[in-house]
Chain A
Amino acid sequence: MIEAAVIGVGQTKYEAKRRDVSMGGLVRKAIDKAMLAADVDWDAIDAVILGKAPDMFEGVMMPELSLVDAIGANGKPLLRVHTAGSVGGSTAVIAASHVCSGNFDTVLTITYEKQSESNATWALSPKYPYSPHINAGAGGYFAPYMREYIRRYDAPENIGWKVAVKDRLNALKNPLAHLQIPGIDENMVAETPMLWDPLRYLESCPSSDGACAMIISNKKLAYSRNAAWIKGMAVRSEGTLSAGRDEVNPQGGQDCAKDIYDQAGITNPFKEIDCAEIYVPFSWYEPMWLENLHFCDLGEGWKLTERGATEIEGEIPFNMSGGVLSSNPIGASGMIRFGEACLQVTNQAGDHQVDGANVAMGHAYGGAAQFFAMWIVSNKK
């Protein structure tokens, strides 16, 4: 049984360019908010776990070392986690594992990206000898997977537009969200340029600067606080181009979800999970993940989206915060999902709160949809 709970979540405002702060200053804004929410000071922190996407994104190698003073790691154990786009989620899992180990009462975990200091898309497509230089960017890489999903289940074109609209309408209820597009509708999305067929501009995530931090503790601190108890957590990996791999419905994602449901005693996720923050950087990933994470049968995901099941008032709200489609500081994007799940079950999500949310899921994926991290949180011990 997992004996760990999130007792504080802190997030910066997500924006295209946070030129007003240094990297340390950005990270620290999220930490200060998390510590305030948790009502703890530095003396309470026993270890610091930092995660972010590839160092090439900002051109600072091993930034966790130069950030020691900003993240309060002086004299404390410090560990860096790196698992591509899923890193925000796997960092949370590693941090919680430290608490579960019994060696640490309280752990600070922090993730960030300051994408404005470079152009991340090119850092994702290095030109190496002996391999083709695809130079596609993440959207170009995922577009064929979405094309195959659409073909396989005969999904109508506007499903992607619907997801894009739904998440941006949710973002209007989240003052921290990067993209704020009042009046967005399916026509507006459909009229934006085709970036990576079948993906249009507004069906894609933005490039953001931002940080997200959490304080994870055991019952010593969590009992006296508004805590989100971790009921199940797991990570999974699989190869990039291995024979027989189903990129549309990756085995790693299925297994990871089954694992956390088993740990949390969940047999029917659609009924038993009240809301979920799922990593959807491109519109079609909502129906794809609905199926991959066992919220419905194969081919039924787009129908749930179509009938509004994933809207904030729907049967299984997805990405109430606006999701990755509205804010994408890559290294932090996974942890934002995990942290937002905690805010929901502790009734701290503000205008994007789902009424009566008791059990929520956080999810992140990365690489070529091959690295996964997930957790289930509840307001009950």
Chain B
Amino acid sequence: MTKSSDKELLRASFKLEYPYERSPGPVIGKFFDELSNEVLVGTKNSKGEVFVPAAEFDPKDSEHLSEFVEVKNEGVVQSYTWIKKPRAHHLIQESFAFALISMEGTDSAMLHMIANCNENELEIGKRVKVVWNEEKTQTIRDIKYFEIIDD
């Protein structure tokens, strides 16, 4: 019995793509809208806990969240992963970190990037601050990245 090879079997590549539109609604929408004003807003639940990025519903008990609070542009690194050699698709082309950052006075963390530092300077608990993108798009990219606050 002869073994069939790949080239004997038909195959065809295809590309599937559609245009979409996203409506983030009044809560998530306000978070992105305020980023373009260089302001970070979170939402506060009835227990006084604050979530940044703004959460529309409490992640624990699903309570509606609609009370907005402005928070400082500084936070603490909860954890991170170091990208020594960024690939072409990365937004930063020098070594950087993807990090979970808990903004000051909040009870949640957001995923973003930390740049302008060496791997040995970064550690869990390190304080970081927002570096804004000059061009605003009302997206999470209005935050260019975070950088370490010098002690």
Contact = CB atoms under 8 A, between A and B. Distances in A.
Interface in B6-39: 10, 12-14, 16, 18-29
B128 interface: no
Contact of A20 (B25, B28, B57, B60): B25
B64 interface: yes
A117 B21 CA distance: 5
A28 B20 contact: no
Contacts of A129: 12-14
A22 B28 contact: yes
A20 B26 contact: yes
B18 A25 contact: no
B74 interface: no
A252 B40 CA distance: 55
The B contact surface, by secondary structure, is loop
A22 B18 contact: no
Interface string B59-93: 11110100000000000000000000000000000
Given A22-B28, A70-B62, A126 B56 contact: no
A69 interface: yes
Contacts of B12: 129-130
Contacts of A28: 57, 64
Interface in B121-139: none
B104 interface: no
A25 B21 contact: no
A24 B23 CA distance: 11
Nearest to B10: A130
A240 interface: no
Contacts of B59: 69, 74
A118 B62 contact: no
B18 A122 contact: yes
Interface in A30-80: 42, 56, 58-59, 69-72, 74
A59 B18 contact: yes
B55 interface: yes
A72 B56 CA distance: 12
A21 B57 contact: no
B62 A123 contact: no
Contacts of B147: none
A116 interface: yes
Contacts of A24: 25, 56-57
A72 B60 CA distance: 9
Interface in A332-367: none
Interface in A285-306: none
B16 A126 contact: yes
A128 to B, nearest CB: 6
| Residue of A69, A72, A116, A119 with most chain B CB atoms under a 10 A cut-off | A69
Given A42-B61, A69-B55, A119 B18 contact: yes
B23 A70 contact: no
A119 B19 contact: yes
B64 to A, nearest CB: 7
A18 interface: yes
The 7 A-B pairs at the shortest CB distance, nearest first, are namely A22-B25, A129-B12, A72-B62, A69-B57, A59-B20, A19-B23, A25-B25
28 contacts: A20-B26, A22-B24, A22-B28, A24-B57, A25-B26, A28-B57, A28-B64, A59-B18, A69-B55, A69-B57, A69-B58, A69-B62, A70-B56, A70-B57, A70-B62, A72-B62, A74-B59, A74-B62, A114-B23, A116-B23, A117-B20, A118-B19, A118-B20, A118-B21, A119-B18, A129-B12, A129-B13, A129-B14
Given A21-B23, A22-B28, A69-B55, 13 more contacts: A20-B23, A25-B26, A69-B57, A69-B58, A69-B62, A70-B56, A74-B62, A116-B23, A118-B20, A119-B19, A123-B18, A128-B14, A130-B10
